[in-house]
Amino acid sequence: MSERALPLHAQVERSLRDRLGSRDLRPGDLFPSEAALQQEFDVSRSVVRQALASLESEGLIHKVRGRGSVVAEHREVHRDVLRSGLRLESDGGGEVSTRVDAYDVVPRPDHLASITGEQVLQLGRVRSVGGVVLSYIRTWLPVDVAEAIGETDLEDASLHQLLADRLGRHVVGGHNQVRAVPATAALAERLGVPVGAPLLLLEGRSVDRDGAALEEFSTWHRGDLAAFDVEAVPPSARDGDGRLERLARTARELLAEIETLR
Amino acid sequence: MSERALPLHAQVERSLRDRLGSRDLRPGDLFPSEAALQQEFDVSRSVVRQALASLESEGLIHKVRGRGSVVAEHREVHRDVLRSGLRLESDGGGEVSTRVDAYDVVPRPDHLASITGEQVLQLGRVRSVGGVVLSYIRTWLPVDVAEAIGETDLEDASLHQLLADRLGRHVVGGHNQVRAVPATAALAERLGVPVGAPLLLLEGRSVDRDGAALEEFSTWHRGDLAAFDVEAVPPSARDGDGRLERLARTARELLAEIETLR
């Protein structure tokens, strides 16, 4: 159905829903007034009111006495990409569950840079938080991992915990890339979103303490449910509260003291 | 137009384009063979060949003698979110340009957590790399910044450089969030993408050396052109190549040496 065929209030509603979805308007922000929306869309006040009532009934905005409408807080799952690269942190404390969707030994895809061998173990897992599907995880592992970790072991389990417990290999970090991509039909079905919906894709590889590759992965997260937290700090500031600076001062004082003793 | 109304080869082509766009198939990967695609889509070889010819003519895949088709490398702009939170790094070394789209003193939006005052300076800037529009940057600053930095100062300039040069305030880091969101009509027009296209949104606030807030921003990047790099490392590994360990050893040796001199 083309935009033109929609009733006016539905057109206004869709446009406002877009602005909320894109975070052009953010939680906590005052929503534009009825008068401002009337002017922006060149429609009657009753059309604006119909659109607002729809958004309000879905909990996207709410009325605040004396202020008008305010953009509602939005439940989403945050993931600290920097510190762990791994751990899901649910705002609401929802339980994390994992379903294994694929467990196959396949010819090694050429894009895998860190895993060698003719074949690799490829996993497909659907991860949910609080009963809602959040992400689809595709993981590639050296093929001999299949001897230590079976398909059923992975149900509702942490792959990294299994790698540590069964193989004594500990994930300590890795190189990740983040992209916004459209959902294919297959991803849309797994994640319960429309085809083409924005997904937050985390691609990466994990290494152990010795820098040896443990896994590569692509994790597609529902864009409407997931946010990644990234603390940006320059190298010089990474020691927290200037402890390196204090150590340097101590070292300089020590050298000066040694000079006086010579 | 519904999917059913498209000719078969165009349906296959769209589906394959989705798989490339979503990075279900990644640059360097062997593309599925003609025989595999015939089977997957239940179509004739000539339909598959038409679809592949289309993708090849656009440079999305290319034939490799004796191997079949391979997913082509894709030009994109990488941004190191962790280290700078700021700097664009173009793969191709394309020149970065900035056009000021909005420069307004507005009532402070309620979501701004770090900037105080009744009013703020709100900027809208379009950033291009190598002549291609990459992102739309909305920035909020304390209103008095307007006295030091005018609209024309910001054309093809770095805001952070201006904050350093004119106000002696240096951005050293901040807290960022990354999301995948759909393009609104307004963003789609600015970025030259269809409405609803996936955008990679970086939201954040920047602080100076004293931890004082300098700005808040939302930057919407074209999902098909941008990737963020994030190095995930545990706190204990952040000193690079064990330099802190080496310093500690030097300190212990120094103390031992001092003991012998007593």
Contact list, B182 vs chain A (CB under 8 Å): 18, 21-22, 197-198, 223
Asked if residues A182 and A198 have their Cβ atoms less than 8 Å apart, the reply is: yes
Sketch the domain layout of chain B as residue ranges. 3-71, 77-233
Q: Is A96 on the interface with B (CB under 8 A)?
A: no
Q: Over the stretch B87-136, which tens digit does the pLDDT of each residue have?
A: 555 555 678 899 999 999 999 998 998 898 999 999 999 999 888 999 99
Asked if residues A226 and A134 have their Cβ atoms less than 8 Å apart, the reply is: yes
Q: DSSP secondary-structure letter at B5?
A: G
Q: Do A173 and B234 touch (CB under 8 A)?
A: yes
For chain A, residues with pLDDT lower than 70 are: 1-4, 82-93, 233-249, 262
Q: CA of B83, closest CA in chain A: separation in Å?
A: 5
Of A23, A174, A232, the CB nearest to B173: A232
Which pLDDT belongs to residue B242?
Answer: 56
Q: Do B18 and A83 touch (CB under 8 A)?
A: no
User: Residue A251: helix, strand or coil by DSSP?
Assistant: helix
CATH of domain A77-229: 3.40.1410.10
Q: CA of A97, closest CA in chain B: separation in Å?
A: 22
Domain A3-71 class? mainly alpha
Asked if residues A171 and A86 have their Cβ atoms less than 8 Å apart, the reply is: yes
Contact list, B75 vs chain A (CB under 8 Å): none
Q: Are strands B198-207 and B226-232 parallel, antiparallel or unpaired?
A: unpaired
Q: Which two tokens stand for residue B232?
A: 């995930």
Of A18, A70, A201, the CB nearest to B182: A18
Does the CA dihedral B229-B234-B237-B238 come out positive or negative?
A: positive
User: Residue A177: helix, strand or coil by DSSP?
Assistant: strand
Q: CA of A260, closest CA in chain B: separation in Å?
A: 15
d(CA B33, CA B70): 10
d(CA A135, CA A225): 9
Contact list, B41 vs chain A (CB under 8 Å): none
Q: Over the stretch A35-63, which tens digit does the pLDDT of each residue have?
A: 999 999 999 999 999 999 999 999 999 99
Contact list, B187 vs chain A (CB under 8 Å): 22, 24
Q: Which two tokens stand for residue B28?
A: 């360097």
Of B26, B175, B230, the CB nearest to A81: B230
Cα A153 to Cα A108, A158, A217, distances in angstroms: 23, 9, 18
Which pLDDT belongs to residue B259?
Answer: 72
- Rg, Å, chain A Cα set: 25
d(CA B128, CA B123): 16
The interface predicted TM-score (ipTM) is 0.85
Q: Is B187 on the interface with A (CB under 8 A)?
A: yes
Nearest to A227 by CA among A26, A55, A58, A29: A26
Burial of A70 (0-12, 13-18, 19+ CB in 10 A): middle
Cα A157 to Cα A83, A104, A125, B34, distances in angstroms: 20, 18, 11, 38
Nearest to A180 by CA among B207, B12, B187: B187
Q: CA of A156, closest CA in chain B: separation in Å?
A: 24
- Backbone angles phi and psi of B140, in degrees to 5: -115, 135
For chain B, residues with pLDDT lower than 70 are: 1-4, 82-93, 233-249, 262
Taking each helix axis as running N to C, give the angle between helix A8-21 and helix A45-57, from 0 to 180 degrees, rounded to the nearest 10: 50
Q: Which two tokens stand for residue A174?
A: 């890795």
Cα A185 to Cα A153, B35, B222, distances in angstroms: 28, 21, 21
Domain made up of B77-233: CATH architecture: 3-Layer(aba) Sandwich (3.40)
The amino acid occupying position A241 is D
Which pLDDT belongs to residue B83?
Answer: 62
Which pLDDT belongs to residue A243?
Answer: 59
Locate tokens 């201006």: which residue?
B162
Q: Which residue of B has its CA nearest to A184?
A: B18
d(CA B77, CA B88): 7
Q: Which residue of A has its CA nearest to B251?
A: A251
Q: Which residue of B has its CA nearest to A85?
A: B232
- Backbone angles phi and psi of B107, in degrees to 5: -60, 140
Does the CA dihedral B65-B71-B76-B78 come out positive or negative?
A: negative
Which pLDDT belongs to residue A245?
Answer: 60
Which pLDDT belongs to residue B91?
Answer: 53
Which stretches of chain A are DSSP H helices? 8-21, 34-41, 45-57, 145-148, 159-167, 185-191, 243-261
Q: Which two tokens stand for residue A144?
A: 């001999």
Q: Where are the beta strands (DSSP E) in chain B?
A: 61-64, 68-71, 77-80, 88-90, 96-107, 119-129, 132-142, 173-182, 198-207, 213-222, 226-232
Beta bridge partners of A69: A63
Q: CA of A148, closest CA in chain B: separation in Å?
A: 26
Contact list, A86 vs chain B (CB under 8 Å): 232
